[in-house]
Amino acid sequence: MDFKKVTHVIFDLDGTLMDSEKILNKIITDIVQSYGKKYTPEARAKVVGTPEKDTARIVVKETGLPITADQFLQIYNERMAKELQNVPLFPGAAELIKHFYYHGVPTALATSSSKFTLNIKAKHHQKLFSLFNHQVVGGSDPEVKYGKPAPDIFLICASRFEDNPKPQQCLVFEDAPNGVKAAKGAGMQVVMIPSNKFAPELTNQATLVLNSLQEFRPELFGLPPMKIIN
Ligand SMILES: O=c1[nH]cc([C@@H]2O[C@H](COP(=O)(O)O)[C@@H](O)[C@H]2O)c(=O)[nH]1
Ligand SMILES: [Mg+2]
C-alpha cells in the first residue's frame, strides 16, 4: 500500500481514543428497546460518529420511535451525563498522543460530541488532552455546519493549526464509517480502527485498517517511529 507522508494528526474521540462506543450503544439500545423497537447493526452504522442532534434524528427515524428527536436527545443526554463519567482511553492512546507531542508533531481532536458531553468524558483526561494543539467540538461549534459524514469538521480542524496545513498533510484516526467518509471527503488519509464489526463496504474506504492504536507504525506516514520496548 502506498502511504503518503503527513505532518499533522487529527484524532476522533469516541470509539477511537476513548472506549465509549459500547456505553453509547447500550444507552441507545436501551432507549430503543423501551419503546419495543430494535436498534439494528444497519441503523447503528448510520448513527456512529454523528453529532448528538443527528444521532437523535437518525435513531428516531431508523428505528421508528414514537417520540421526537428532541425528546430522544433529552433522554440520551441524561443517560450520557450519568454513564460517561469514567470512561477509559484505549490502550496505546495516551502513548501515541504523548509520542507526537514530544516529537513536535501537531495533533488535534475532532469530535462530533457537544461541549456538554465532551466536558463529562474529558474530565479525567485533562492533562493528556492539553497536549492537543486544539479541539474541535463539532456538536457545539458554530463553524461546523454539517456533521460527519460531511468533511467540514476535518477541514475546519486543519485550518486551525497555526501553519494551516493542506488536507493531504493531515492524517485522521477514526472508528466510524461516517468519520472515514468525512476524512476522505476532506482529502485526508485515514487510519480506521473500527469500533464495531462493520460490513466490508463500510471499512474499505479507509487508507489503513488496524485492530488497535498499538498496531500503528508512524513511520509508514513519514512520522517519527515509536520506540519498541521488548
Ligand atoms: O453507538 C453509537 N451511537 C452514537 C454515537 C454518536 O457519535 C458521537 C461521537 O462522535 P465522535 O466519534 O466524533 O467523537 C457521539 O456523541 C454519539 O452521539 C456513537 O459514537 N456511537
Ligand atoms: Mg468515533
Ligand 1 atom closest to 52 (CA): 18
Asked if residue 137 and residue 95 are part of one domain, the reply reads yes
Is 226 contained in some domain?
no
Phi then psi for 209, rounded to 5 degrees?
-115, 125
Model pLDDT, residue 196: 87
Ligand 1 atom closest to 15 (CA): 12
Cβ of 114 less than 6 Å from ligand 1: no
Picking from 83, 108, 137, the residue at the C-terminal end of a domain is 83
C-alpha cell at 97: 498522543
Model pLDDT, residue 230: 53
Q: What is the pLDDT of residues 81-118, one digit of tens each?
A: 999 999 999 999 999 999 999 999 999 999 999 999 99
Q: Which stretch of 7-21, 44-58, 141-155, 194-208 has the lowest confidence by average pLDDT?
A: 194-208
Is 1 contained in some domain?
no
Picking from 34, 60, 83, the residue at the C-terminal end of a domain is 83
Q: Give the number of other CB atoms < 10 A from CB of residue 199.
A: 11
The residue to mutate among 61, 72, 112, 153, having the most atoms of ligand 1 within 8 angstroms of its beta carbon, is 112
Q: Find how far residue 216's CA is from the centre of its chain.
A: 17
CATH number, domain of 50, equals 1.10.150.240
Asked if residue 115 and residue 92 are part of one domain, the reply reads yes
ipTM attached to this prediction? 0.93
Q: What is the pLDDT of residues 148-192, one digit of tens each?
A: 999 999 999 999 999 999 999 999 999 999 999 999 999 999 999
For ligand 1, atom 5, name the residue with the nearest CA: 48
Give distance in angstroms: CA of 176 to centre of ligand 1: 9
Report how many domains make up the chain.
Answer: 2
Domain span holding position 173: 8-19+87-221
pTM listed for this prediction:
0.95
